[in-house]
Amino acid sequence: MNRPIFLSLLIFTAVLFSCSKDRLEDIQITSEETFSSQIVNDDYKLYFFLPPNYSEEKSYPVIYLLDGDWHTNRVAKEINQLWKENSIPECILIGIGNSDNRARDYTYPTDNDFDANSGHADKFYEFIKKELIPHVEDNYSTDTTSRHILGHSAGGFFVLYAMLNDENPAHSVFKGYIAASPSIHWVNGYLFDMEQELSERTNDFCCSLFISTGSDEGVAVNVLAIEMYERLLNRNYIGFEIDYRNLKDKAHEGASIPGFVEGIKYTLNN
């Protein structure tokens, strides 16, 4: 290759990747704390990201992010960019850290072949409803009608579990549910049994759900996600909004953040 052309291409590539890398402004997590759950009998690291002009005079939607140890900083950067673009309203992000106990907290029922300590999503859900949400709403100015929860993989399973397990679907705990690459295969598709039970006890389901998968995750992940999407869509629940997005050229890990971003835009604007 001609040397000047080669150098030009090299410089162009460097600039291109530099722009991509620097697209998101560096931010600082507003605060962190350790919260002790009496229900789960464990401690959780909490990461808080607030709007730069946070005011007690306003009420903010709240986003509860699972796998907060891994995702909070990147999701906070993405949210900060969405604010700059006026794509979503200002909100509060709370990352819940528990990376050592994902199987315990995010799954139900227990799968002894996978992890004998798995299958305690029921306790984790009680912790969120009865301990974490009251703690947050006692200490921050929140819009109690606009809570949102998002998770990826096993975290995506938990998001669907929480939604389908709601005791009062007409006044759901969360207004928005975001399930990125959810592990719907868990224990022979247990979530489908939950979905069937929900359909038999109500036709009033006031919330929104966003499901996403990556096109390169494999057939099973995509097929199960589409089946869940179509089942819920065809129930014609009153007050229920749902969307599904397949993310081109994304494998399992790479589908997490893009799925979160699209889901945040969808649920916060519904």
> Mind listing the pLDDT tens digit for each residue in 255-270?
999 999 999 999 999 8
Residue 183's domain spans which residues?
26-268
Number of domains in the chain: 1
225 domain residue, yes or no: yes
Angstrom distances, CA of residue 256 to CA of 29, 173, 246:
20, 23, 12
1 domain residue, yes or no: no
In this structure, what CATH number is given to the domain that contains residue 97? 3.40.50.1820
9 domain residue, yes or no: no
230 domain residue, yes or no: yes
Contacts of 210 (CB under 8 A, 6+ apart): 176, 177, 178, 179, 242, 243, 244, 245, 262, 263, 266, 267
13 domain residue, yes or no: no
144 domain residue, yes or no: yes
- Specify the pLDDT at position 28: 87
pTM, whole model, 2 decimals? Answer: 0.90
- Specify the pLDDT at position 20: 41
Q: How confident is the model at residue 213 (pLDDT cuts 50, 70, 90)?
A: very high
What are the tens digits of pLDDT across the range 55-79? 999 999 999 999 999 999 999 999 9
- Specify the pLDDT at position 18: 37
C-alpha torsion sign, points 99, 259, 210, 196: negative
10 domain residue, yes or no: no
- Specify the pLDDT at position 16: 37
What are the tens digits of pLDDT across the range 129-145? 999 999 999 999 999 99
42 domain residue, yes or no: yes
Q: Which residues pair with 62 in a beta bridge?
A: 92, 147
